[in-house]
Amino acid sequence: MSKKYFGTDGIRGRVGESPVTAEFMLRLGWAAGKVFSREGRGRILIGKDTRVSGYMFESALEAGLVSAGVDVLLLGPMPTPAIAYLTRTFNASAGIVISASHNPYQDNGVKFFSSEGEKLDDEIETAIERELECHMEMVPSDQIGKVSRVADAAGRYIEFCKSCFPVGQNLRGMKIALDCAHGATYHIAPSVFGELGAEVVEMGTDPDGFNINDGVGSTSPDSLRQLVLKEKADIGIALDGDGDRVIMVDESGVLVDGDELLYIVANDRKEVGELKGGVVGTLMSNFGLEEALSTEGIPFSRAAVGDRYVLAELQSKGWILGGESSGHMLCLDVTTTGDGIISALQVLAALRRSGQMLSDLKSQMKKYPQHMINVACGRKIDLKQGGPLAKAVEGTEEQLAGKGRVLLRASGTEPVIRVMVEGEDEKKVNSLARDLAEVVSRELN
């Protein structure tokens, strides 16, 4: 059975448009409750980011779950990885996150974690979709689920994050510019870095329900760059709206993306003898990452874009470290899912152990110029079809002469086709990407 609602990262869309409606969320809660209570009375956690619509969807999911006989624990605004962690510590049947990650406030969505704090298997998502097609029938009144709120959720997670920093080390003497994107980490991240000893200069920590990811966060780092330079900070850390990604800015105001951060952590893990196997990237990972890891004798493998595919590849190989250029990093020796705060702590630990600045560690990896253009699409297109599209890709690859890559892929979270060209010459790469994007746009329209 092909899935109708679940995409690569749960269910996501524009608020008020199917399936991101209160009515659907009520049915989704009931359907999930039916699936997770098959082996007895279930208990499910619900957390959310700071979008104004989160309260509405929290109530709808809660009503659906309890009507299926499931107990509910409400966490309030919490980072996505915190919900994965708390799902494990509370021995819950599942965790639900209400968030659209790095998207604007007009979007929202739902993603699930299993009892182990991992993304759901396809089989469970399919089972939930099957229940969505069934008549919604409430359990008898004496079996209705109970709801309670977890008062110390933030404190529990803050302590967990701090425990992921090396014992005996601290951040004293380090000045950090921190951007929380007016999102779910606004009341978590400043405490984590501050309690480890850093001087923290905050931005993006005043959510109002509408300003999440609005000119701030990991997808809009210019304000953080300016803050780093203004405050003469040692490092800048930018998280996204739900806290599962991180990018950084060095002391000179230069952006350091997920590929570079992954290299820094991998090399540090190797230096201290804690790297198990190699590193998993994605089809979008810069070739410079692969090249730099090879120089260090670290194996590298590419997975499809999406953290669930990176996780699957890591599990199949028995490795522990992987990530995406967007800043979504998996450190399976520390936690089960991508976590922006914990990923940042791994980079900070590398800085402390090396005694160097972020710019120094970043310079050991040479990035290839890479240009990506998002082409809006209102319909699906077969990217492997022949005709003008295939000829355009083939022509672009010929011009790169074996010293670059071309990639077309449909986004799993937005209605766009991502057109990426990578090569040695930046001007040529940008020109080729624009030309190819025009061909894609013509084919779509």
What are the residue numbers of the active site? 101
DSSP 51-68: -TTHHHHHHHHHHHHHHT
Q: How far apart are CA 445 and CA 427, in angstroms?
A: 27
- C-alpha distance from residue 198 to each of 82, 170, 172, 238 (Å): 22, 8, 5, 16
Q: How far apart are CA 113 and CA 95, in angstroms?
A: 5
Residue with tokens 């690859």: 397
Confirm if 115 and 39 have CB atoms less than 8 A apart. no
Confirm if 80 and 243 have CB atoms less than 8 A apart. yes
Q: How far apart are CA 356 and CA 351, in angstroms?
A: 6
**Angle at CA of residue 169, ends 168 and 174, nearest 5°:** 155
- Local structure of 422: helix, strand or coil: strand
Q: How far apart are CA 207 and CA 366, in angstroms?
A: 37
Q: Which residues contact 254 (CB under 8 A, 6 or more apart)?
A: 225, 359, 362
From start to end of 50-173, where are the E strands?
Answer: 71-77, 94-98, 107-114, 147-149
* Residue 405 host element (H or E): strand 404-410
Instruction: Write out the two tokens for 307.
Output: 């953290």
Strand partners of residue 219 = none
DSSP 243-270: SS-EEEE-TTS-EE-HHHHHHHHHHHHH
- C-alpha distance from residue 109 to each of 84, 131, 386, 393, 415 (Å): 16, 19, 35, 34, 15
* Residue 222 host element (H or E): helix 222-231
Strand 199-203 and strand 107-114: the pairing is unpaired
Amino acid in the structure at residue 322: G
Strand partners of residue 407 = 420
Confirm if 138 and 67 have CB atoms less than 8 A apart. yes
